[in-house]
Chain A
Amino acid sequence: MPTKDFIRQRFFPHLWCAGCGHGVIMASLIRAIEALNLPKNNVVIVSGIGCSSRMPGYLDFHTLHTLHGRALAFATGIKMGRPELTVIVPMGDGDASAIGGNHLIHAARRNIDVTALVLNNSIYGMTGGQNSPTTPLDARSTTTPRGNIDPAFDLVELAKGAGASFVARSTAFHTKELEQMLEKAISHRGFSFVEAMSGCPTYFGRRNKLGSGVDLMRMFRERTVPIGSEKKKTDPSLIERGIFVDRARPSYTDQYRYITQSACEEH
């Protein structure tokens, strides 16, 4: 099926700025779902609030655009309500790790079988460029005019620490790699966490004089390396891409099925 068959063309044009990384990431997600041959009626996309969270509206699946930070809580209800559905949760960095941080760590701890995709552009784009928990130290935003003094979260470490059983990172530039990672993440039984580094030229790029969307893409190519790369040893500031965790752990959904079975057998 061509990509356009997964899109609600009725609702185009989309609202993303020229040069925004989100559309490219959405295309990787579509190709991953296509490669897995998932019937459209079995896929639910749940998002929070923000630029990236507008993604569900454009996709021809069951789509739920929820409250800022709460996407994983809604997704938990959908997955537990109907466990046979594939539930994918695109979120922004502030959405997932600031206001939604509590839901993120508990979804990971439970190992509920949903896929969290964090489109991390290190800024609040929708509200006009304020710093988020992933804005690097010293970076400029509308609310850090003299440079950011909040240390940033490493989302991969956060997800690992909270117990996610699949953790990966790629970027909007590495579309093929991201697509393959998402395929694995969606197939994984348990909580999957994928960080997709995305570019916001409009706010993060402009405030920090990093150039256009293309320049941000170049940055993703030059400033990231595959896990275990030699380059990282000489330049620790490089960011690693790849699959950090992929382990089998009973998913919450499966565990609950056992609870139901044993409860029914009590009579």
Chain B
Amino acid sequence: MSGTLRFIQGNEAVVEGALYAGLGFYAGYPITPSTEIAELLAERLPKRGGTYIQMEDEIASLCSIIGASLTGRKVMTATSGPGFSLMQEAIGYAVMAEVPCVVVNVQRSGPSTGLPTAVAQGDVMQARWGTHGDHAIIALTASNLQDVFSMTIEAFNMAETYRTPVILLLDEVVGHMREKVVIPGEGIPVVERLVTSVPEGIDYHPYLAREDGRLPMSDFGGVHRYNVTGLVHDMWGFPSNDPTVAYNLLRHLVDKIEKRSHEIVRCQEHQLDDADILLISYGSSARSALHMVEKGRDSGIRIGLLELNTLWPFPYEIVRRAAEKTELVLVVEMNMGQIYQEVKKAVRTDRVYLVNRFDGVFISHTDIEKVLNVVMGRGV
């Protein structure tokens, strides 16, 4: 891949990815450990004619990017724990009104203020179910900065493709560590907004999905004037109490993501072909899991890693198939078992174990090794 070689921080890799994808509007509120994203964009966005605004809180940040998205801009906000909690209502709005936007959550320890500068992966379920009501969501993650860069672009691409908020669920270690990243000049596909071809004067239905499930948009300020609401609405975007309208809308909102999970799921396999022991991990935990695989292989253990880059929709089928071929499954994460529970739904065996930390300390390969020794019957 040709491009510029940079040695940067994870949060900067998000910024590079967002700018590559065509970010035009960012709104945010300072919070550790995501603040560098705002600082860098305050510097860089105006130079490209984009807009940076610091809002009065995280609620306003997400609301304002939704507004800007409706004018045709590609939009993003970034936050962490408490700020992510404040954003949940507006995430639901973006789901309901089908407004593309990217929400970055650089996870820190919680609940509440928790350990603001310490790593955790405790918001996995909040990303899935944080906003009220039945809905589907896309959440992506990455363990190294090249992937942070490319998953950020993917987040924008998926937001545009499915007209939905996409959550980029990073963590403090990935956000703050430094690593080399190649920023390509070109070559990574970028999905632009699908704009309606309905001409002026013809009735445009903003919420009438095409056969492929996609809904072409029309910018506010354009030739089609329509209504956008968080209420259950009909194909014109006008509120409706009709049970059939409500049923069809909710089905559409969920199906457009769940039924396309094969397009959305991103996973990476590391030495899985002959593995007897399967590690499943994501985000910065996957770095230690990979380290464990390398160490284990050195000492003759057939161990491999399935790294998840898409957390939601959860790749049940891929996890099930990977687990089928192995003796033991260890889920490595920094929470009390949020992905572990999903893996247990996919894998109908009692050979699934959790290796975790939730004390603000980065999980290491020795943490994994200890559990591995126990489950392999080698003692502590």
Contacts and interface: CB of A to CB of B under 8 A. Distances in A.
B59 A70 contact: yes
Nearest to B53: A80
Given A61-B225, A67-B89, A260-B49, A78 B230 contact: no
B368 to A, nearest CB: 43
Nearest to A263: B46
Contact of B230 (A66, A80, A81, A103): A66
A126 to B, nearest CB: 12
Contacts of B229: 57, 64-65
A102 interface: yes
B55 A76 contact: yes
Which among B47, B51, B63 has the greatest number of chain A C-beta atoms within 10 A?
B63
Interface residues of B, number: 44
Contact of B67 (A46, A56, A106, A260): A46
Interface stretch (A37-45, A147-155, A187-195): A37-45
Contacts of B71: 77-78, 81-82, 85
Contacts of A84: 221
Contacts of A260: 46, 49, 51
Given A41-B221, A78-B67, A80-B25, A73 B93 contact: no
Contacts of B25: 77, 80-81
Interface in A70-108: 70, 73-82, 84-85, 102-103, 106
A61 B63 CA distance: 20
Given A65-B228, A66-B63, A82 B221 contact: yes
A60 B225 CA distance: 7
Contacts of A76: 27, 53, 55, 60, 64, 67
B201 interface: no
Contacts of A78: 67-68, 70-71, 220
Contacts of A85: 71, 220-221
Given A63-B227, A67-B63, A266-B47, A81 B68 contact: yes
A66 B239 CA distance: 12
B361 interface: no
B18 interface: no
B90 interface: yes
A64 B68 contact: no
A247 to B, nearest CB: 23
Contacts of A8: 227, 238
Contact of A74 (B53, B67, B89, B221): B67
Nearest to A82: B71
B64 A264 contact: no
Nearest to A15: B239
Contact of B46 (A11, A61, A65, A259): A259
Contacts of A62: 220-221, 225-226
Interface in B31-74: 46-47, 49, 51, 53, 55-57, 59-61, 63-73
Given A41-B225, A81-B25, A74 B64 contact: yes
B67 A41 contact: no
Contact of A42 (B24, B72, B221): B221
Which among A84, A85, A260 has the greatest number of chain B C-beta atoms within 10 A?
A260
A73 B64 CA distance: 5
B222 interface: yes
B231 A65 contact: yes
Interface in A173-197: none
Contact of A64 (B24, B27, B67): B67
Contacts of B227: 8, 56-57, 63-65
A104 B154 CA distance: 35
A41 B223 contact: yes
Contacts of A266: 47
A76 B60 CA distance: 9
Nearest to A264: B47
B221 A44 contact: yes
A243 B68 CA distance: 31
Contacts of A256: 46, 51, 53
B346 to A, nearest CB: 35
A104 to B, nearest CB: 10
Contacts of A11: 238
B28 to A, nearest CB: 12
Given A40-B225, A76-B67, 5 more contacts: A65-B229, A67-B63, A73-B56, A77-B67, A81-B70
14 contacts: A56-B227, A63-B228, A65-B239, A73-B55, A73-B61, A76-B67, A77-B64, A78-B67, A80-B64, A80-B68, A103-B60, A106-B60, A264-B47, A264-B49
Interface of B: 24-25, 27, 46-47, 49, 51, 53, 55-57, 59-61, 63-73, 75, 89-90, 93, 219-223, 225-231, 236, 238-239
